[in-house]
Structure 1
Amino acid sequence: MTVRTIEENGRSEPPPAPTAAGDLRARFDQDGYAVLPGALTPDEVAELRAETLRICRGERGVVEGAPPPVAGESDEDTVRRFLCVHYPHKLSALMLDTMRHPAIVGPLTALIGPDIKSMQSMLFVKSEGRPGQAWHQDEMFIPTRDRSLTAAWLALDDATVDNGCLWVLPGSHRPGVIYPNREHDDARYDCTVESYGFPYDEADAVPVEIAAGSVLLFNGHLLHKSLPNTGRRGLRRALVNHYMSASSLLPWALPEAEQPMAQADFRDVVLVAGRDPYAYKGLTDIRTPRVRRDRSGGCDR
């Protein structure tokens, strides 16, 4: 996989924006999401599936909370014991390269602007019977100063209703409201809290079924969820990266002592396009790879 490198002066040459950038932006502004069909090739997808196995085996480094290996189990059974690994880009050069992939970053420059950074990756491995995630908004978890948060959900398997694709509430991003959230005891979902009190109905929800190699881009305020994998047997693997404008501060952690909250700026980030205006602050390495807990693992926090 060929990617552009980040120069020492905090700049990265952005890949060219798609020719249909205006159409992409119009769809994204209207609905809060857009699909990039076939963004990655079948060979690239196969590489990422193989890398997923290496990560689940522990071959790329320690993953906090990972289930212990079982002697003699098959490759597929090793992978299916995971629900989600956070920050795989910190373990894998391939995952990091995919975060910078021109077929993803190029369209993002049309939506966010020329200067883009990423702060999170998540590798989902949802086998049959594994839970989904209740209604939520990503900006509730990752607050950006300019509301530029955008997810890129890369399907590593065909994502269908049966195996737990994403569902979205089109246009729910437009008010710019972060709705309240609460704990829940719904066994269909993992331990993440659920949003509630929003003026949309379940009947408004739309499933987003996409083929392996395609990417779903969606706004950080868009209400979305996923349901369990109800297929008889099979995986629904996906790599999800979060991006935002590099010109915006990221108050994702408490500010330093005597620093106003408005100046808080999380610096465990990766520049993927353009220039980082805050490069003078340097970078940190704070977050570590870990597994996400499902309900069978308990929901203590």
Structure 2
Amino acid sequence: MSTVTAQTADRSGVVLHETISDALIEQIREDGFGVLKNALTPDEVAEINAEAVRLCRGDLGEIRRVTPAGPDDSDEDVMRRYLCIHFPNKLSQVIAQSLHHPRIVDVLTKVIGPNVKAMQSMLFMKSEGKPGQAWHQDEFFIPTRDRSLTAAWIALDDATIENGCLWVLPGSHKRGVIYPDREQDDERFDCTVELYDFPYRDEDAVPVEIPAGSTVIFNGYLLHRSLPNSGKHGFRRALTNHYMSAESLLPWNRVPDDVHVAKWDYRDIVMVAGQDPYAYKGTIDVARPGVRQDKEGGCDR
């Protein structure tokens, strides 16, 4: 049994773990999520936020739907144009390195297993007035064969109820079911579908308010959502990286016509721990950075 270090709780009762402990791993397994406090240092957070500015200005390379900013455009105004950039790790070495962050990977190897691969990063800016995302499960978007999908949601600003922190339904991952989806036109959310017909109420949800540098680590089947940034000013930035067991094939995106579905394995991945049992297949580089647009800018489904 590892030593359980001192813990604190935020005003919603969510436990914040100072260091990796048995209690944190048990909470992730039982509740479907846990918070690793101080996962990143203030300097590491500042470095990623500086990269976010460069990405939004178009300084690091082409991003689909990003218009390079002019010299008269302030950094804040440029970031306010965008809700989320997918695959920023493809252009930013700083964000690419975050996939391997040792404190986060240490948790992942205890939750997932010794061999872990990453397949996606998402950088959220979420300025004041920007929408949240309706109830969803990450496994709906990134299916795995072994239920090992795990997210590391890194707060780059203090995440609060006012500015649109995550809300989770504790324990909703345990059934291992992907719930039905439907289109939604709720102005609180971006254009992605919402899941419904699950045995939980909105009143059962718990807000996960955490300081910048802390990381929410949660299971791919956990039902979660976020509400709009209703603050009068400021951002709720976050970097979300997705991981899974390297032992499992990744049946992501469309199956090629000449590949049997049982053999399909998306290989645009990054190993972050252990060994890749499918290394003989090689890797590919096909995903490209792009902007997820909110309702004002149209939908990218």
TM over 0.5: yes
Residue 91 of structure 2 corresponds to residue 125 of structure 1: no
Aligned to 1:50: 50
Residues 64-79 of structure 1 mapped to structure 2, 5 A cutoff: 64-70=64-70, 72-79=72-79
Q: Which 10-residue stretch deviates more, 18-27 or 34-43?
A: 18-27
Cα distance between partner residues in 2 of 1:64 and 1:167: 29
Q: Give the AA of the match of 1:234.
A: G
Aligned to 1:249: 249
Pair 1:179-2:179 in alignment: yes
Q: How does 1:1-301 map to 2 (within 5 A)?
A: 20-70=20-70, 72-299=72-299, 301=301
Q: Is the CA contact (8 Å cut-off) linking 1:254 and 1:264 kept in structure 2?
A: no
Provide Cα deviations, 1:65-104, integer angstroms capped at 9, x if missing partner. Answer: 1145255121111111111000000001000001111011
Q: 1:176 to 1:232 in 2, by over 3 A?
A: same
Q: 2: CA distance between counterparts of 1:214 and 1:19?
A: 11
> Matched residue of 1:231: which SS?
coil
In structure 2, give the amino acid aligned to 1:213: G
Cα drift, residue 285 of structure 1:
1.0
SS of match in other structure, 2:35: strand
Q: Secondary structure at the match of 2:250?
A: coil
Q: Distance in 2 between matches of 1:90 and 1:24?
A: 31
Bigger shift: residues 22-31 or 229-238: 22-31
Aligned length: 284
Question: Cα deviation per residue 1:127-180 (whole Å; 9 max; x = unaligned)?
Answer: 000000000000010001111000000000000000000000000000000001
Q: Which has the higher contact order (CA 8 A, sep 6+)?
A: 1
Q: Distance in 1 between matches of 2:259 and 2:189?
A: 37
Partner of 1:105, secondary structure, is helix
Which shifted more, 220-229 or 68-77?
68-77
What is the distance in 2 between the residues matched to 1:50 and 1:105?
23
Q: Which amino acid is 1:135 matched to?
A: W
Moved more, 64-73 or 185-194: 64-73
Secondary structure of the corresponding residue to residue 252 of structure 1 = coil
Q: Which runs of 5 or more structure 2 residues have no equivalent in the other structure?
A: 1-17
Q: Is the 8 A contact 2:179 2:195 kept in 1?
A: yes
CA contact (8 A) 2:40 2:214 kept: yes
State how far apart, in whole Å, the 1-side matches of 2:20 and 2:137 are. Answer: 27
Give identity over the alignment, percent: 62
Q: Distance in 2 between matches of 1:241 and 1:300?
A: 20
Show structure 1 runs of 5+ residues with no match: 1-17
TM-score, length of structure 1 as denominator length: 0.92
SS of structure 2 residue aligned to 1:199: coil
Whole-Å Cα distance in 2 between the matches of residues 153 and 140 of structure 1? Answer: 17
Q: What is the Cα deviation at residue 258 of structure 1?
A: 4.0
Report the Cα distance in structure 2 between the residues aligned to 1:73 and 1:59, rounded to whole angstroms: 13
Shift of 1:300: 6.0
- Give, in whole Å, the separation in 1 of the partners of 2:181 and 2:39: 34
8 Å contact kept, 2:86–2:290: yes
Q: 1:77 to 1:33 in 2, by over 3 A?
A: same
- 71-80 vs 90-99, which deviates more? 71-80
Alpha-carbon deviations, 1:206-240, whole Å to 9, x = none?
00000000000000000000000000000010000
**Would the aligned equivalents of 2:58 and 2:68 in 1 still touch at CA under 8 Å?**
no
Secondary structure in 2 matching 1:126? coil
Instruction: Note if contact 2:57-2:67 (Cα within 8 Å) is conserved in structure 1.
Output: no
